[in-house]
Amino acid sequence: MTQDPLVSFEGVAKRFGTYTAVQKMDLDIRQGEFLALMGSSGCGKTTTLRMLAGLEAPSEGIIRLSGKPINDLPSWSRDTPMVWQSLALFPFLSVIENVEFALKMRGMGRAERRARAEQWLDRMQIAEFADRNISQLSGGQRQRVALARSLVVEPQILLLDEPLSALDAALKVRMQSVLKQLQRETGITFVYVTHSQSEAFSMADRVVIMSRGRIEQIGTPQEIYRTPRTRFVADFLGSSNIFPGTLQADAQGRAAIATDSGTFLLDGQHGAAGQAASLTVLDTRMQVHEQRPAPGVNAVEARMIGEEFTGATATLYFETPRGQEIRVQKSHEDLADLSVAMGRSFHLSWSPADSHLVHE
Amino acid sequence: MGRRISAYGLTFSLPMLIWQLLFFVFPLVFLIALSFWTVRNFRMQPDFDTVNWTTMYGRAIFWQAYGTTLALAAGAAVLTSLLAFPVAYAISFKLSDRARRWAIMLMVIPFFTSYLVRIYSWQVFLSDAGIINVMLGWIGLGPYGLLNTPGATLLGFVTLAFPLVVLLQLFSLIFIDRTLIEAAHNMRCGRLRTVFAVVIPSARVGLVIAALFAFILSFGDFVSPIYLGGGDPTTLSILITDTTKSGQQWPRAAVIALTMIVTLMAVAFLSIRFAYRGRK
């Protein structure tokens, strides 16, 4: 990836009055990637997208598109088509007129733009609805119209602002694969804003996690899932158990962290002793035993307080004597040998290699 | 259960029903009956004679007045809509919420003063010795005969309808989904073009209804044609007063009034159909 980024945010900040929506942000968006901006509401992800589309002006910093600063370019002079959460289809135009709109604005002749629009309707499998009103379409069909409308101009980049949030679960999954496939086939850079981890992780090449106007972590879904870099990310993903504590060295000089629930070994060196940090362990990497495991692994004793069956896996909830809650995800086969029962005590273990450290 | 709901609904719709019967249906029925009465020796008497209809419809002056009134009212509807739109647009899209509330209040204030007073004050501006001609005189122009012209009548109609048209347009513009405008900008549609491509189509129903109100108000107005237009050319409203004054011809006036009502209904029906065309 030595290629120049398609978009770069350089120290970009956005303030609304006294409220800071985005704090000095640096972000490169690569040519042809599927990038997801993820975070809970108010984290600045939509503002970031809107600044890129020219719908908000940055208070500070420079946004570049293909190397050129676009800060002063009005929205209508940029080629950054966007798909809105509400889709923003024109109710007073027919389906095909909606798709033709952007071409018409570019001064393309009637016959040519009709042909191009028809091609895209065909591609999105909604050709039969060309002359319908928007109000006569289902949610999924509208989605496809909105995509066709933005893609008909064959842009370099497509911005999507939570476009699937109004769909039901099954349709959402189907549209995810439609989107991913479209992105792969066209090679268009997709910037996708979402609060949904499953959407971001299933589609994106890279995920940007934002919180309170700041980027917390950028990485592939695997990187972020396996090694959340900050406490916030670990919390937000909700897939790790978090043990706040203090770094120290154990008797043999190995790196460890002292937490309320005990002192646990770490893999490798992680900073100076006495420093505050949190240990994170993925809920899928925890083992459950009835007997105390052999030394060399980290272990903690905890009482089972709940269980939840979610399809192929089961989620078990435990509580340590010190009140820390621990979540473990196991397949049903893994649990077959255990006599799982509420209130019973178990030993939970994980290897130092599965211990990750995050700083606040 | 069903009976109780209908009794409940009736309680609330009954006043409306009584009102409509008392002040619309009964007078209308009476007006229709009246149009068939005859007048002998300056006295009206109940009758069933179509003479009023044939007489009025046979007169050139009636059709002239009809054409004039229609043209003036249509002109007023178009002119008022064109003048009001930039104002309504600016209020709904360019002002802060606070400034918008003030602007709406300012648009309500004209309703506090009598329309007649507002028309008289135009006379002060427009007459040969009025403010405009005096000021033109300072730079060696005029005086121009501004009063007693169709243009002055039109100005009166605009005065009458403008605040209402602004308010009606405003309320349709305010409720336009702003993301539609952003979406247009996002697709290379510049500001002015967005007004025509997105704002006006989105607000079409409200804009047409606002113009319809301007038409209705102007079509039946008597004050402006007489005090600013000088009664020439004659409008239907003037024709009605003339008809009643000359020889107690109330039945013939009823013919004019009924023609006006039917015209207004037709115009209202057509414009609402136009406003909702293509909508489902």
Q: Which of residues 176-195 of B touch A (CB under 8 A)?
A: 177, 179-180, 182-191, 193
Is B202 in contact with A92 (Cβ distance < 8 A)? yes
DSSP A254-322: -EEEEETTEEEE-SS--S-TT-EEEEEEETTS-EEESSPPPBTBEEEEEEEEEEEEETTEEEEEEE-TT
Mean pLDDT calculated for residue range B160-169: 96
pLDDT digits over B48-90, tens only? 999 999 999 999 999 999 999 999 999 999 999 999 999 999 9
Backbone angles phi, psi at A256, to 5 degrees: -150, 170
Chain A residues touching B177 at Cβ < 8 A: 86, 88
Is B188 in contact with A77 (Cβ distance < 8 A)? yes
**A22: nearest Cα among A50, A2, A3:** A50
Task: Spell B215-254 as b/e; 16+ CB within 10 A means b.
Answer: bbbbbbbebbbbbbbebebbbbbbbbebbbeeeebbbbbb
Residues A242, A243, A245, A246, CA torsion sign? negative
Partner A contacted by B96 (CB < 8 A): no
Question: Shortest CB distance from A84 goes to which of B183, B201, B279?
Answer: B183
- Give the number of C-alpha atoms closer than 13 A to the C-alpha of residue A157, restricted to the C-beta side: 21
DSSP B138-200: HTT------SSSHHHHHHHHHHHHHHHHHHHHHHHHHTS-HHHHHHHHHTT--HHHHIIIIIH
Backbone angles phi, psi at A192, to 5 degrees: -120, 115
Residue of A nearest to B275 (CA): A92
Range name among A139-153, A256-270, A281-295 with the lowest pLDDT average: A256-270
How much is the pLDDT for B67?
Answer: 97
If DSSP codes are grouped into helix, strand and coil, which group holds residue A40?
coil
How much is the pLDDT for B269?
Answer: 96
Take residue A331 and report the two structure tokens written for it: 């397949």
Residue A315 CB-density burial (10 A; 0-12 exposed, 13-18 middle, 19+ buried) = middle
Range name among A41-45, A222-226, A253-257, B169-173 with the lowest pLDDT average: A253-257
Chain B residues touching A136 at Cβ < 8 A: 280
Mean pLDDT calculated for residue range B86-105: 94
Residue of A nearest to B177 (CA): A88
If DSSP codes are grouped into helix, strand and coil, which group holds residue B37?
coil
Is A54 in contact with B193 (Cβ distance < 8 A)? no
Mean pLDDT calculated for residue range B209-219: 97
β-pair partners for A12: A25
Question: Shortest CB distance from A88 goes to which of B180, B190, B201?
Answer: B180
The size of chain B, in residues, is: 280
Task: Indicate if the pLDDT at residue B154 is higher than 70.
Answer: yes
* Separation between Cα atoms, residue A82 and residue A52, nearest integer Å: 10
Q: How is domain B61-275 classified at the CATH fold level?
A: MetI-like fold (1.10.3720)
Partner A contacted by B204 (CB < 8 A): yes
Is A92 in contact with B185 (Cβ distance < 8 A)? no
Assign A335 a pLDDT band (cuts: 50, 70, 90): confident
* Separation between Cα atoms, residue A294 and residue B73, nearest integer Å: 97
Take residue B166 and report the two structure tokens written for it: 């602004």
Rounded to 10°, the helix B115-126/B131-138 angle is 20
* Separation between Cα atoms, residue A207 and residue A293, nearest integer Å: 37
| Percent of chain A clearing pLDDT 70 (strictly above) | 98
Q: How is domain A243-358 classified at the CATH fold level?
A: OB fold (Dihydrolipoamide Acetyltransferase, E2P) (2.40.50)
Domain ranges for chain A, please list them. 7-226, 243-358
Domain ranges for chain B, please list them. 61-275
Residues of A with CB under 8 A from a CB of B: 53-55, 74-77, 79-82, 84, 86, 88, 90-93, 101-102, 105-106, 133, 135-136, 149, 153
A84 with B179: CB under 8 angstroms? yes
Which distant-in-sequence residues (6+ apart) come within 8 Å of A16 by Cβ?
Answer: none
pLDDT digits over A4-23, tens only? 899 999 999 999 999 999 99
| Percent of chain A clearing pLDDT 90 (strictly above) | 66
Question: Shortest CB distance from B189 goes to which of A53, A76, A91?
Answer: A76
Residue of B nearest to A81 (CA): B186
Take residue B15 and report the two structure tokens written for it: 């006043």
Distances (CA, A) of B17 to A151, B21, B265: 55, 6, 20
* Separation between Cα atoms, residue B206 and residue A94, nearest integer Å: 21
Chain B residues touching A133 at Cβ < 8 A: 278-280
Strands A345-350 and A325-331: unpaired
Task: Indicate if the pLDDT at residue A3 is higher than 80.
Answer: no
How much is the pLDDT for A63?
Answer: 97
Distances (CA, A) of B247 to B39, B48, B257: 8, 19, 17
Rounded to 10°, the helix B236-245/B250-275 angle is 160
β-pair partners for A310: A313
Range name among A228-237, A259-268, B108-117, B163-172 with the lowest pLDDT average: A259-268
How much is the pLDDT for B280?
Answer: 44
Chain B residues touching A92 at Cβ < 8 A: 201-202, 204, 278-279
ipTM of the complex: 0.84
Task: Provide the whole-model pTM.
Answer: 0.84
| Superfamily per CATH, domain A7-226 | P-loop containing nucleotide triphosphate hydrolases (3.40.50.300)
